[in-house]
């Protein structure tokens, strides 16, 4: 049902390659066409835990369906992956996030967020022309590649390690940043982890939520932060909801955090207003 509704929304079926390509081209010239009507990219601040300042944003897609209302990405991303619709949608999200980040650069200069972090689904990750497509979007939006980070979940990077290393290296050649997402929820082989050219490790929020009640969880978080540092990566935590958690995570030496304590995901307009207010938590 959701699948049908998505296909209807996009006015095409996933198998129709020409339409898909057309839509891609179309969207590259008209940023607000088609997807932009119902889909929106929201931005959640990534905060430096030391300084309390915004270091960047994570781009998170939102779907406002005309009849169903708000549909959660937890619900529609898996459907989009199964149907292949994630490919054009994912590229639209990436382009939109790059476009907005470039806009902030012009608007805020030195005070612009230095990173936008975009989620990449497993299906996108294995596309043979992925790196070329990312490169094209960077060219089209004139965004400095060093301002873009792609988040790939632990589950996806561990699926086929040899291919992963290849793909990550090709991405790295574009000078973009790479982050492992939802760390701790899958099965990582530490020997492989050290071979990935990734910049950050993001600790899943399940470890943070009960950190105060259960000392084991604090120890686990501390261990993952140390692991990240040993591998030459910065650590990020998601799901920071209280000041106490922020304090603890800062003591542990975790570099960045995101969560409702700092801010929920914001529309581009709200995020722009937030940036203009030069927030410091």
For ligand C2E, the closer of residues 119 and 248 by Cβ is 119
Residue 256 and residue 234 in contact, taking contact as beta carbons nearer than 8 Å: yes
Separation between Cα atoms, residue 257 and residue 208, nearest integer Å: 11
- Near ligand C2E by CB under 6 A: residue from 181, 224, 233, 257: 181
- Near Ca ion by CB under 5 A: residue from 88, 181, 239, 254: 181
Separation between Cα atoms, residue 175 and residue 148, nearest integer Å: 9
Residue 201 and residue 236 in contact, taking contact as beta carbons nearer than 8 Å: yes
Residue 182 and residue 202 in contact, taking contact as beta carbons nearer than 8 Å: yes
For Ca ion, the closer of residues 119 and 147 by Cβ is 119
Strand segments (E) across 24-158:
39-48, 54-65, 69-71, 115-119, 148-153
In the complex, residue closest to ligand C2E by CB: 259
Q: Applying CB under 6 A, does 257 fall inside the site for ligand C2E?
A: no
Q: Which of residues 27-56 bind ligand C2E (CB under 6 A)?
A: 44
132 Cβ contact partners less than 8 Å away, ≥ 6 residues apart? none
Residue whose token pair is 């574009």: 174
- Minimum distance from CB of 187 to Ca ion (Å)? 16
Binding mask 114-133 for ligand C2E (x = CB under 6 A): -----x-x------------
For Ca ion, the closer of residues 51 and 206 by Cβ is 206
- Per DSSP bridges, beta strands 256-258 and 39-48 are antiparallel
Residue whose token pair is 């006015």: 11
Q: Applying CB under 6 A, does 198 fall inside the site for ligand C2E?
A: no
- Near Ca ion by CB under 5 A: residue from 182, 224, 249, 265: 182
Separation between Cα atoms, residue 50 and residue 254, nearest integer Å: 9
Q: Applying CB under 6 A, does 265 fall inside the site for ligand C2E?
A: yes
Question: And the tokens for 113?
Answer: 């967020």
Applying CB under 5 A, which part among 21-29, 84-92, 111-119, 189-197 lies near Ca ion?
A: 111-119
Q: Applying CB under 5 A, does 151 fall inside the site for Ca ion?
A: yes
Residues, the chain:
281
- Minimum distance from CB of 153 to ligand C2E (Å)? 7
- Contacting positions for ligand C2E (CB under 6 A): 44, 59-61, 72-74, 77, 90, 93, 119, 121, 181-182, 205, 238-241, 258-260, 265
- Contacting positions for Ca ion (CB under 5 A): 119, 151, 181-182
């Amino acid at each position: 049902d959701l699948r049908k509704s998505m296909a209807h929304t996009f006015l095409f079926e996933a198998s129709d390659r020409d339409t898909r390509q057309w839509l891609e081209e179309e969207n590259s010239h008209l940023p607000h066409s088609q997807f932009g009507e119902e889909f929106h990219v929201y931005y959640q601040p990534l905060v430096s835990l030391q300084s309390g300042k915004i270091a960047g944003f994570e781009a998170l897609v939102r779907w406002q369906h005309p009849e169903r209302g708000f549909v959660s990405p937890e619900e529609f991303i898996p459907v989009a992956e199964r149907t292949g619709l994630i490919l054009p949608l994912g590229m639209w999200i990436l382009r939109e996030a790059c476009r907005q980040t470039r806009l902030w650069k012009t608007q805020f200069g030195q005070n612009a967020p230095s990173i936008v972090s975009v989620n990449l689904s497993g299906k996108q990750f294995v596309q043979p022309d992925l790196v070329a497509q990312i490169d094209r979007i960077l060219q089209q939006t004139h965004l400095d590649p060093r301002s873009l980070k792609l988040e790939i979940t632990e589950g996806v990077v561990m699926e086929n390690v040899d291919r992963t290393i290849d793909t990550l290296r090709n991405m790295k050649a574009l000078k973009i940043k790479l982050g492992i997402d939802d760390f701790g929820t899958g099965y990582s082989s530490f020997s492989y982890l050290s071979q990935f050219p990734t910049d950050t490790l993001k600790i899943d929020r399940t470890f943070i939520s009960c950190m105060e009640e259960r000392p084991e969880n604090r120890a686990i978080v501390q261990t993952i932060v140390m692991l990240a540092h040993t591998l030459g990566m910065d650590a990020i935590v998601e799901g920071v909801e209280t000041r106490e958690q922020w304090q603890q995570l800062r003591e542990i030496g975790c570099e960045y955090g995101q969560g409702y304590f700092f801010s929920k995901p914001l529309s581009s307009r709200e995020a722009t207003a937030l940036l203009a207010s030069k927030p410091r938590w």
